[in-house]
Each structure stands twice: as C-alpha cells, then as structure tokens.
Amino acid sequence: METQRQRKIAGVIQKDIVDILQKAAIDGGLRNTLISVSKVSVTTDLSIAKIYLSIFPNDKAGELMEGIKSNQPLIKHELSQRTRNQLRRVPELLFYLDDSLDYIENIEKSLKREENPIENRDLLPKRKKS
C-alpha cells in the first residue's frame, strides 16, 4: 500500500521525467518518437524510483532504453535541479520498458482472427470430467 507521500513524490518525478526525456529526444534528433511515463513507483524509504516508459514506435524502444539507462546520472542531475525545492534527496532512478500496450495489441489481434475461441468453442480444449 502506497502512502500519500510516496504518491506525491511519484507524481512529481513522473511530471518532470516526461519533460526531461521529451526535451532530450527532440534535442537528440528524434522528432517522430513519443516517450511517455506510464507509471512511477517509489519505495517506502524513498530511495528508489521505478520508472516505466512507453515508447512509440516500438522499433526504436530497445535502442532508446539503452541510451536512457546510460545517461541515467545526467537525468538524475536534471531531475534534482528541477525538484530542489520539493525533494531533499532524489531517489535512485531505475528505468523499465512498459510493454502493456504490446500485450493488449496481441490480445486484440488474436480476437480478430478467423479462429476466435470466444465465438467457436470447438477450438478450446475439452475439459475432462472427474
């Protein structure tokens, strides 16, 4: 269960990380790339922040995540400059790729195929009677 303080710090980090990453992407020449922070989770001792990123288009996601992880100290410094009046210490930033949109897309594709298990129950394996 997250405390109110954890949620507030996660919100501050999420808002500022979005600005930092979008600015870095535009300055780096990535014009048609969308980087969004889908979730920020802060530990109870406020020492670690897990940041889940959603990157569109997906073909650049791996390359972009490597760049973000290698520039993590610079991102943390920029975040500390932006939040110096709100946070005493900036938590350690851990970046993860959020693949929930890909998961939802795969489910939608499987439901739109000709062999839809919801409409055709014969495609599902039969249950054994005990």
CA–chain centroid gap for 55, Å, is 8
Q: Looking at beta carbons, which pairs linking 87-92 to residues 24 or more positions away fall under 8 Å?
A: 87/9, 87/12, 89/46, 89/47, 91/9, 91/13, 91/42, 91/43, 91/46, 91/47, 91/48, 91/49, 92/47, 92/48, 92/49
Q: Give the pLDDT confidence score for residue 81 in this predicted structure.
A: 94
The pLDDT value recorded for residue 38 is: 92
Read off the amino acid at residue 109: K
What's the pLDDT tens digit per position in 8-45?
999 999 999 999 998 888 888 877 888 889 999 999 99
> What is the structure's pLDDT at 76?
95
Closest Cα to residue 95, out of 17, 29, 43? 17
Global pTM reads: 0.77
Q: Is the pLDDT of residue 104 over 90?
A: no
Which residue is listed with tokens 């929930």?
100
Which strand (E) or helix (H) includes residue 53? Answer: strand 48-56
Mean pLDDT calculated for residue range 99-110: 76
pLDDT at residue 129 tops 60: no
Q: What was the pLDDT predicted at 41?
A: 95
Which of 100, 79, 93 is closest to 51 using CA atoms? 93
Question: What tens digit of pLDDT does each residue of 35-90 get?
Answer: 889 999 999 999 999 999 988 888 878 888 898 999 999 999 999 999 998 888 99
